[in-house]
Amino acid sequence: MYRWYRYRHDYGKHRELLDLIISWVVLSIAFGTGYIFKGNLVGLALAFIAVATAFVFHEIAHRQVARRYGLYARYKAWYTGLLAALIISLLTAKAFGNPFVIAAPGAVYIYAYMGIPPPDVEYRVALAGPLTNAILAAILLIASHFTVYPLKLYLTFIGSVNAWIAIFNLIPLPPLDGYKIFRYSITLWALVMLFAIVIYVLL
């Protein structure tokens, strides 16, 4: 997810790194709550690895595409969203055995140094995050067919986390990425969403 601003909201590199680490840890715990209740430390460690690929690559993809177009971009944690993700995942994991994770830990804040960026830049920046997750999930799905247990299980879980983060962020409601993509092209949004859902189901 990312937010667009016309004016610079200065957010230092050190604070960005801290926010990335905090978001990664909290989101990893959220995805790993089912393993926590089962006392499965290997599963919890796997959740940290899965979120490292899914969340970090998602936000970095937003940031790097924005910078490619000459825009200022920094990640900033959304602590309310992180708290909600943690609480809801704990409650659902306790009740149903598996967590439901609200995958909106923060956003990449973007602004133009000067002038107005081309109209297609917004959707390109928005698309970068979930598309990265969907592609990673597809690669892990393919790789899982050439491995055996327990590696197959690990790859499947990491792929599922990537696919879920793609699907959640593609929901066409503001401020999620899906809203910006949907507004630009319903067809493009539908294709990417369908791709992510198919991969998630196959995993």
Summarize pLDDT for 100-132 with one digit per residue, the tens.
Answer: 998 888 888 887 776 666 768 889 999 999 999
- Among the listed ranges 3-7, 60-64, 128-132, which one has the minimum average pLDDT value? 3-7
Asked if 59 is an active-site residue, the reply is: yes
pLDDT surpasses 60 at 8: no
Chain centroid to Cα 86, Å, comes to 15
Query: Is the per-residue pLDDT at 10 higher than 60?
Result: no
Distance CA 154, CA 40 (A): 13
DSSP state of 52: I
pLDDT, the chain, mean: 90
Cis omega (within 30 of 0) on the bond before 105?
Answer: no
pLDDT for 119 equals 66
Lowest mean pLDDT among 6-20, 32-46, 53-67: 6-20
What pLDDT does 3 receive? 53
> What is the share, in percent, of the chain residues with pLDDT greater than 90?
72
Residue 6 has pLDDT above 50, yes or no: no
Residue 15: CB atoms within 10 A of its CB come to 14
- As a whole-number percent, the residues of the chain with pLDDT over 70 amount to 91
Average pLDDT, stretch 147-160?
Answer: 94
pLDDT for the residue 117: 66
Which of the four pLDDT bands, split at 50, 70 and 90, describes residue 179? very high
State residue 54's pLDDT score.
Answer: 94
Measure the CA angle with vertex 201, ends 200 and 203; round to 5°: 65
3-state helix, strand, coil in the chain (%, to 5): 70, 10, 25
**Which listed residue (19, 59, 122, 177) is catalytic?**
59
Which stretch of 4-18, 41-55, 110-124, 125-139 has the lowest confidence by average pLDDT? 4-18
What is the pTM assigned to this prediction?
0.86
